[in-house]
Amino acid sequence: MWVAIAREMILVGMVLWKILVRSSAWSLLRPARSVFPGDLSQARTLPGAVRFQSRVRSSRRRNEMSWRCHGRDNAELVANLQRHYILTSPEAATAMLKIDRGHFVPDGSPYDDCPQSIGYGVTISAPHMHAYCVSMLADRLKPGMRVLDVGSGSGYLSAVFGIMVGENGKAVGVEVIPELVERSKRDIKRTPAGPLLEKGIIEIHAGDGKLGWPAGAPYDAIHVGAAASELPKELVKQLKPGGRMVVPVGSYAQDLVLLLSCTCIGFAPF
């Protein structure tokens, strides 16, 4: 076990070193336009507003492969994400097969592995980004668990989360654009997650994502759909001890994903 951990730490160091070589440390703190959906319009790396450690779970090679996962339909898209080892959770794959991405992309090519416009100046993230995030959170998306989707946008991931946590769980989405909230509810009803929405197991609310949704807390998992200049403290308060948060961080290239596991003294890698 310790050998495996040592190897992963070496890999993390190599990836971070390459990033620092390509750009100065200060450039990593510059705001950049977010390519993720949600209510946070600027993306930065987290400057450490909350004490935490991070673990990098993506490599340049895998990032390059991820953009080749286009499919002719939802089933082929999911299969390609699995074939390239991007979608690594069987439970996540099952949920993504049930929730057809095509229901959430009004125009464009829903099965292309790239962001697609969903109106109101917002995009739905590329399928490989969704696959990364759901796989990373899978251990905290088991039946009966609670999950918060910050910047829920189209509602696609909220629907996937709802399928994973099931009848005894709770999936809460928060989106700042009211029109998207209403449309996402209509689109979720077109999928197998529709009954979960009707029963209140899936909830989609209009609100400021940085504030989370305290009424549904605490959460086993929190997905943040946009990078932020600092980790919102309200979200930290709403994460269970032992819970998990995934936060996309970086510039246009989406180089890093920070994985944070809540402990009694702060955040630790997992």
Phi then psi dihedrals of residue 223, to 5 deg = -105, 125
Helix, coil or strand: residue 102: helix
For every residue of 202-226, DSSP letters joined together read EEEEES-GGG--GGG-SEEEEEESS
Q: Which helix (H) or strand (E) holds 178?
A: helix 178-188
Q: Among 34, 66, 89, 125, which one carries the catalytic annotation?
A: 125
As given in the structure block, the two tokens for residue 124 are 């739905």
- 125 in catalytic set: yes
d(CA 34, CA 260): 20
As given in the structure block, the two tokens for residue 197 are 């929405």
Q: Which residues are catalytic?
A: 125
